[in-house]
Amino acid sequence: MRNFVAVVVTLLFTAASLFGGDFVAPSQKILKPEGEISLGSLVELDLSRPTTVPDHWVAASYDWHVFEVNKDGLVEQNLRRGRIGDGVYFAAGMKPRTLYVECYITHLYGIKTNGRLTEFGTRSVLLRDTLMVGGSTPLPPIPPGPTPPPTPEPPITPSKLFVLIIEETGDAVVEKAMLMRDQAIMARMKSKGHQWRIVDKDVRSSNGVTPPDLVRFFEATKGKTLPQLFLVDDHGLIRWSGDMPRTPAAFLEAMQKVGG
């Protein structure tokens, strides 16, 4: 689930060939304020301390990002280093919104032979979480689409799009974060008035049911590899769908094909 669930995605970046099964990243999670965050407050984020230190661990570096996805695209927050620990802090602001938190941790490992560092390696871990500031304003629902669907297919015309990504949050991929930070994609989303919508495949409303505007998309993803991308126009028509492109160029090409 995307709300209030911390997700750990382990990425393998190995340098040298030594570690194999010994190359273990310590278990950590993002520490954040409990519950809804008050407007105008100071938000402090930190990391839990590892209960054990893996063999050969030397040091770690931390790269924090906190961003909002709104009608203008991805808006990153200005962060300051925490007073203690490895965390950061920032001002919550005066408007209700949902913020997404990412912390990239790079662990360095090394083996010494006769007192000299002879082999080394790294492993990077991506921690993710969500913050609700002042009662998040719900995203507009995706239009239901015509019933029955038009025949033949409508001509390709310029249109504002809902850019819908359905994912398994626990398997979230770095490529998606890179796409959402790509300057060309952000500029196109803003200039065309497109809107992001990113949901976990198991998302449920407060009463435990699937949001009605997402049911048809969840049905379409059954049996397919996640994440799946849907480009939906303001009449509810699915203009394009398929595996989420892995590069900014492919992502932009998919939007351009449908006039987005």
**Angle between helix 174-181 and 248-257 (nearest 10):** 70
Q: What is the pLDDT of residue 230?
A: 92
Which is more confident, 168 or 9? 168
Tell the CATH topology of 7-133: Immunoglobulin-like (2.60.40)
Question: In the β-sheet with 88-91, what is the strand arrangement from edge to edge?
Answer: 30-31, 42-47, 88-91, 80-81
Helix axis angle for 183-192 and 174-181, nearest 10°, is 60
User: How many whole angstroms separate alpha carbon 74 and alpha carbon 231?
Assistant: 17
Report CA dihedral (199, 161, 240, 173) to the nearest 10 degrees: -40
Domain range annotation of the chain:
7-133, 161-257
First-last CA distance in the chain = 29
Higher pLDDT, 57 or 170: 57
How open is the CA angle 160-188-182, to the nearest 5 degrees? Answer: 135
Please give the Cα distance from 158 to 17 (Å, whole number). 51
For 174, the token pair is 């770095």
Burial of 164 (0-12, 13-18, 19+ CB in 10 A): buried
**Each residue of 66-125: pLDDT tens digit?**
887 666 566 677 777 765 568 888 888 888 888 888 888 888 888 777 777 677 778 888
Select the more confidently predicted residue: 23 or 167.
167
Statement: residue 24 has pLDDT above 50: yes
Q: CA 202 to CA 7: how far, in whole Å?
A: 14
Which pLDDT does position 42 carry in this prediction? 87
Average pLDDT in the 220-248 region? Answer: 88
Q: What is the pLDDT of residue 195?
A: 82
Any idea which of 5-9, 48-52, 163-167, 190-194 has the lowest mean pLDDT? 5-9
What integer is the mean pLDDT of 220-235? 88
The CATH number of 161-257, from 3.40.50.1440, 3.40.30.10, 1.20.1260.10, 3.40.50.300, is 3.40.30.10
Enter the pTM of the model. 0.49
Around Cβ 252, how many Cβ atoms within 10 Å? 17
Per-residue pLDDT of 28-47, as tens digits, reads 889 998 888 888 888 889 99
Predicted confidence (pLDDT) per residue in 130-184, tens digit = 888 876 555 556 667 655 555 554 444 566 888 888 887 666 556 666 777 788 8
pLDDT of residue 4 exceeding 50, the answer is: no
